[in-house]
Amino acid sequence: MPLLFSKRKRKLIAMNIKRPHDSFFKQLMSDPKTVRDFLRSFLPKTLSEKIDYESIKVIDTEKTNRKYRKFYLDLLVDCRVLEKESEIYIVFEHKSYPDRLTLIQILNYCSVVWEGCIRNKKPLIPIIPVVFYHGRKRFDLPTNFSGYFDVDEAIRDYLVDFSIVLFDTNRHTDEDILRASGNLYLAASILAMKHIFRDIKSLRPVFKQIVQLDRDRFLMVLEYVIMTKDIKEEELEELIKEAGGDTMPSLAQRWLEQGIQQGMLQDAREMVLDALEAKFGESSVHFKVKIDQVTDRNKLKELLKIILKIQDIKELESSHIWN
């Protein structure tokens, strides 16, 4: 069984702690099948029926991000149009709150992609922007760029303009999401994002779906819920039991137990340090010596739980854990 304490895994956990919504969305949509099922289910029909879904490729945006540090593409999909040899890009932008700068960010993304086309002496690629939104209330901002400007209609005709495809979880019932996708993993993940800002009881329909997933995908959705919700272990176990699933150890325990049981105590320490650094940055450096001296597996487990919960590093300094 592979260890959960690889360098890549530790970085992923650190990223999840810092930006759980973005991290979960990108993790979900990194699978081309999931992207295909989402586009088939939730794009406007007139657009959906034009796409060659077998041609879909998820593009690694890390290269673009390194060259253009101020731009962060959430997801870029390359595909072809049916009955034509033309290529198009679909740019996904994930939002967990109504951001008035969303369309400006998308315009920047398009510029980055087109500059790359020009630099490589290739034709400009058409881009379709898709905004995936799951905030507390409906996305009530304009979905076309010209809608942000208060001008006379005669002037509006000459403004730079484009429209987005908006997927707002608030505009879809749970039943619609389950029925539309035909992909339990995708549907369960969308439901988790839809209900994540509500009270604990609202997560019941989410758990009814995720307990049917395979172990890895179940744990992926579970990690997201625990990263973003202030949920007690007893509440978590109750939700899982109500949904008909087996009881599960706490997330912190799952992260640590495999490594510790196999004698990888140093890896466990490093994961605690990575989580601490991701949340509090350089101010956490002086804890390294203390954490390196921890040899008790339960203490490491408790440390990770504390780091996940606290908002101020001073709370860790004054914690009873060091007594």
Look at the block and give the residue holding tokens 């509090």.
280
- Give a yes or no: residue 110 inside a domain: yes
pLDDT attached to residue 186: 96
Tokens of 128: 């379709």
The secondary structure element, H or E, covering residue 16 is helix 7-18
User: What percent of the chain has a predicted confidence (pLDDT) above 70?
Assistant: 81
Q: Is 244 left (phi over 0), alpha (psi -120 to 50) or beta?
A: left
Across 165-179, 240-254, 265-279, least confident range = 240-254
- Give a yes or no: residue 303 inside a domain: no
- Give a yes or no: residue 144 inside a domain: yes
Residues 6+ away with beta carbon under 8 Å from 10: 267, 270, 271, 274
Total count of domains within the chain: 1
Confidence of residue 41 (pLDDT cuts 50, 70, 90): very high
Cα distances from 216 to residues 31, 65, 213, 222, 262, in angstroms, run: 14, 29, 8, 10, 20
- Give a yes or no: residue 13 inside a domain: no
- Give a yes or no: residue 180 inside a domain: no
User: What percent of the chain has a predicted confidence (pLDDT) above 90?
Assistant: 41
- Give a yes or no: residue 142 inside a domain: yes
Range of the domain at 105: 31-171
Q: What confidence tens digit (pLDDT) does each residue in 54-101 have?
A: 999 998 765 555 454 444 567 889 999 987 778 899 999 999 999 999
pLDDT attached to residue 72: 55
- Give a yes or no: residue 36 inside a domain: yes
Q: Is the pLDDT of residue 140 over 90?
A: yes
Across 130-134, average pLDDT? 97
Q: What confidence tens digit (pLDDT) does each residue in 193-245 have?
A: 999 999 888 888 888 888 888 878 888 888 888 778 877 767 877 888 887 76
- Give a yes or no: residue 107 inside a domain: yes
pTM of the complete model = 0.72
